[in-house]
Amino acid sequence: MIYTLHGFAIFFLIYWSGLWVLHLLAIFYGKYRLHRKVKPLSTDEPYPGVSILKPLMGTDPHLVSNLETFFTMNYPMYEILFCIEDEKDPGIDVVNALLNKYPKVQAKVFIGGSTVGVNPKINNMNKAYESSIYDLILISDSGIRMKEDTLLDMVEHMTEKTGIVHQMPFTSDRNGFAATLEKIYFGTAQSRMYLGADCLGINCHTGMSTLIRKDVLEEQGGLKTFGCYLAEDFFIAKSFLDKGWKTAISSQPALQNSGICDVNSFQARLTRWAKLRVAMLPTVIIFEPLSECMVIGACAAWAASFLFRWEPLVFYLVHILVWFLCDWMLLSIVQNGSLPFKRFDFIIGWLFRECSGPYLFLLALCHPEIRWRNRVFKLTWGGIAQEVKPRIKC
């Protein structure tokens, strides 16, 4: 029994040390990688054309301003392909108003998706994808805002050996506790794993804003090939990596700016992502909870007390304090400017996120079915999805 406890104690301390290495790696890599100056647009240099796929469903208070940023980008050649599944969707009026406002921008609307799998996003985009005319495909969610030079920055990272350039998820500056909580999560826990994985060459691809070589995707059978997965972004990147292509993150994070911003919706989103990760990588069941500050801190404090007779409470409190300070540093790097909330707000939001994280993961394990808008899906090992309930007609 004593040898078993020794083994656990050693494992916890090694894993705890590895997380600190990852923490420092994310800070230094983020400082090096993010917010690098974009070269001015050159009139002498040829730029590849980009077809932008914008899947839409419904409207929210920020939809107009989010979509308008795609009409004002400083890039010489691109088209915007709006994908709307329902002909009665109110988003159609929003898009038509922007088309009238910016008649010189090359844009089209595709109404009515095609059923090529269980993934609603793939079904919605497939028609537009098959009609795209340029060599690069940018898949961009409706809640994403773009700066004038964001597309140029992404294209500049598309080297000869790179097949996918994706933006690290982050958020725009918004008011309220839920917005603060989102920014803290994406700027700390998510950024730590994302930056560390990208630096180590591990697949960390998320599809909310991603630039893809169309010819390589066509070799896989096109976008429809990945319609059997809900986490199509992960499997698209995996197929590229398996073929020897590299993936890279852009220096500008993706600015999520959804008009729906409340704690319940955000936590439901995190729970859904956890379910996807468990189905794709079953080892997540063990290692993800141990990656949480409060959990690994308690384990490491017990291990230090068991092996070295150190005071566990002091160890635990110092662990939390240093983790907190490193997260503040990482968030400041990702933000690249003043944060839109006070330090006290950060303390409250950080504690809430760190304490609720393990609970949300347990919730994901207890209820593995995934609810996505008005549909329910079940995942098998490997990430293949099956719809378990018919679509609810409103």
The number of beta carbons lying within 10 Å of the beta carbon of residue 238 is: 17
- Pairwise CA distance, residues 291 & 281, whole Å: 15
Task: Indicate if the pLDDT at residue 284 is higher than 80.
Answer: no
Task: Indicate if the pLDDT at residue 1 is higher than 60.
Answer: yes
Sheet holding 136-140, edge to edge: 107-111, 78-84, 50-56, 136-140, 209-213, 162-166, 246-249
CATH 3.90.550.10 in the chain: give the residue spans: 34-167+208-261
Supply the residues annotated as catalytic. 233
- Pairwise CA distance, residues 383 & 8, whole Å: 31
Tokens of 312: 């566990």
Percent of the chain topping pLDDT 90 = 77
- Pairwise CA distance, residues 305 & 363, whole Å: 31
Query: Please, what is the end-to-end C-alpha distance for the chain in angstroms?
Result: 59
Structure confidence at residue 164 (pLDDT):
97
DSSP for 360-390, written as a single string: HHHHHHH---EEETTEEEEE-TTSBEEE-SP
CATH 3.90.330.10: does it fit domain 34-167+208-261? no
The number of beta carbons lying within 10 Å of the beta carbon of residue 15 is: 16
Q: Render pLDDT for 144-195 as a digit per residue (tens, 0 to 9).
A: 999 999 999 999 999 999 999 999 999 999 999 999 999 999 999 999 999 9
Task: Indicate if the pLDDT at residue 381 is higher than 70.
Answer: no
Q: Render pLDDT for 73-119 as a digit per residue (tens, 0 to 9).
A: 999 999 999 999 998 999 999 999 999 999 999 999 999 888 898 89
Burial of 242 (0-12, 13-18, 19+ CB in 10 A): exposed
Tokens of 284: 């997540």
Helix axes 2-33 and 312-335, enclosed angle (nearest 10): 20
- Pairing label, strands 254-256, 144-145: antiparallel
Q: Render pLDDT for 195-208 as a digit per residue (tens, 0 to 9).
A: 999 999 988 898 99
Structure confidence at residue 389 (pLDDT):
60
Least confident of 3-12, 166-175, 189-198, 334-343: 3-12
**pTM of the full predicted structure?**
0.93
The pLDDT confidence band at residue 279, using thresholds 50, 70 and 90, is confident
The number of beta carbons lying within 10 Å of the beta carbon of residue 349 is: 21
